[in-house]
Amino acid sequence: MKLIAPLLLAAALAAPALSFANEAAAPAKSAKPDLAQGEAKFAAVCAACHAADGNSAIVTNPKLAQQHPEYLIKQLTEFKSGKRANPIMAGFAATLSDQDMKNIAYWLSSQKAKPGFAKEKDLVTLGEKIYRGGIADRQVAACAGCHSPNGAGIPAQYPRLSGQHADYTAAQLSAFRGGVRKNGQQMTEVAAKMNDQEIKAVADYIAGLR
């Protein structure tokens, strides 16, 4: 009996410590996005290249307004980790915390995207054919299947493309095709089967989608 009492006391003292350890091991609940903080951080870090409202006027820099937040968070995370290689974006992403990324992404998703327009009239027909029907003889799936007929994408799965700068879209397709951009296996497989004219055509068609 004398031995049992000290054991019971030790167990009682250990219980709170064990409970605390379990709570510490549990993942912290992520805070809700703070849109005001997102706007402020975007203005400080991102607006110079992507414009104050996320509607970049520089054709080599993507429009980010109205993009799905999950997609934006994924890209920022992968710029920071190096999975998506881009020395400029890696530098900016390195300054952002996970909460910063969430705040920025959700603020951008609340901004209205400005429509774009196609420039290459001779290529629009080919671009529309690829976007809506794919390239059957090379087993290239229709872009609309994942990114929707109007380019709105599918939240949490596939990004919005509607109105995106043709130059930027073409550059990304070429990067996927050449193995430079490695963070989208599905897109790598699609772009690998497309030639320069097809990439240019579908990018231009996407720019005019709305």
Question: What's 173's domain CATH number?
Answer: 1.10.760.10
Query: Which of 109, 136, 169 corresponds to the end of one domain?
Result: 109
**Residue that terminates a domain, selected from 76, 109, 142:** 109
| Percentage above 70 pLDDT, the chain | 86
Distance from C-alpha of 155 to C-alpha of 147, rounded to nearest angstrom: 10
Same domain, 103 and 125: no
54-112 per-position pLDDT tens digit: 999 999 999 999 999 999 999 999 999 999 999 999 999 999 999 999 999 999 999 99
163 with 113: CB under 8 angstroms?
yes
Token duo for residue 37: 């903080």
Residue 27 lies in a domain: no
CB atoms within 10 A of CB 44: 10
Classify 207 as helix, strand or coil: helix
Q: Is residue 13 part of a domain?
A: no
The residue from 85, 109, 133 where one domain ends is 109
Judge whether 202 lies within some domain.
Answer: yes
Predicted pLDDT at 3:
42
Distance CA 148, CA 1 (A): 74
Q: What angle do CA 111, 113, 118 make, to 5 degrees?
A: 170
pLDDT (tens digit per residue) in 14-43:
444 434 334 444 444 568 999 999 999 999
The DSSP H or E segment spanning 132 is: helix 121-133
Residue 138 DSSP code: G
The encoded tokens of residue 171 equal 């550059």
Whether the CB-CB separation of 123 and 200 falls below 8 Å is answered with yes
Same domain flag for 147 and 201: yes
Q: Which two tokens stand for residue 86?
A: 């881009």
